Each structure stands twice: as structure tokens, then as C-alpha cells.
């Protein structure tokens, strides 16, 4: 992820926030039953919460794709 974020032009302080956001989204995905299934994961059954998390991740991916060309 750091290599991808380094390729996206950004203000240094925003670059740090994007990396923190990537780490946070990874942590959420690993600890909750969203991406794959493990016994220790917490299920997310609230559709609105799933939608929120999807849009949060989508916005980050969209930003990186637009800036990278």
C-alpha cells in the first residue's frame, strides 16, 4: 500500500492521513466478517454500515486511480 500511496501526488500531511486510512480499513476488514470468513471475525449485519464501509473504501480507491492515471 505504501508504494501505491507514494505514487499518488499529495500534500505530505494528507499522504500520512491516507496511509492511516488504509491501515484502518485493513483492520476493519480483517476483524469483521466482510471480506472473508474466519471464526474470530465479528459479523456486520447492518446494511447501512456495510454501505458506509464500502463507500469509504471505494472513495480511497477512486482517488488513487484518478491521481495515478
Question: How many independent structural domains does the chain possess?
Answer: 1
Choice between 56 and 39, residue whose per-residue pLDDT is larger: 56
| pTM listed for this prediction | 0.78
User: What pLDDT, on a 0 to 100 scale, did the predictor assign at position 35?
Assistant: 62
- What domain range includes position 43? 2-68
Rounded to the nearest 5°, which phi and psi values hold at 32? Answer: -120, 150
Rounded to whole angstroms, how far apart are CA atoms 19 and 4?
10
Give mean pLDDT, residues 54-67: 92
For residue range 3-12, what is the model confidence (pLDDT) as tens digits? 888 888 778 8
For residue range 15-51, what is the model confidence (pLDDT) as tens digits? 899 999 999 999 988 888 876 677 788 888 888 988 9
Task: Supply the DSSP string of the chain, one letter for each residue.
Answer: -HHHHHHS---HHHHHHHHHHHHHHHHHHHHEETSS--TTPEE---HHHHHHHHHHHHHHHHHHHHHH-
Amino acid at each position: 500500500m505504501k508504494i501505491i500511496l507514494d505514487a499518488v501526488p499529495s500534500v505530505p500531511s494528507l499522504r500520512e492521513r491516507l496511509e492511516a486510512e488504509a491501515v484502518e480499513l485493513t483492520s476493519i476488514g480483517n476483524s469483521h466478517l466482510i471480506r472473508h470468513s474466519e471464526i474470530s471475525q465479528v459479523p456486520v449485519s447492518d446494511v447501512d454500515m456495510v454501505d458506509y464501509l464500502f463507500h469509504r473504501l471505494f472513495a480511497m480507491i477512486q482517488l488513487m486511480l484518478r491521481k495515478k492515471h
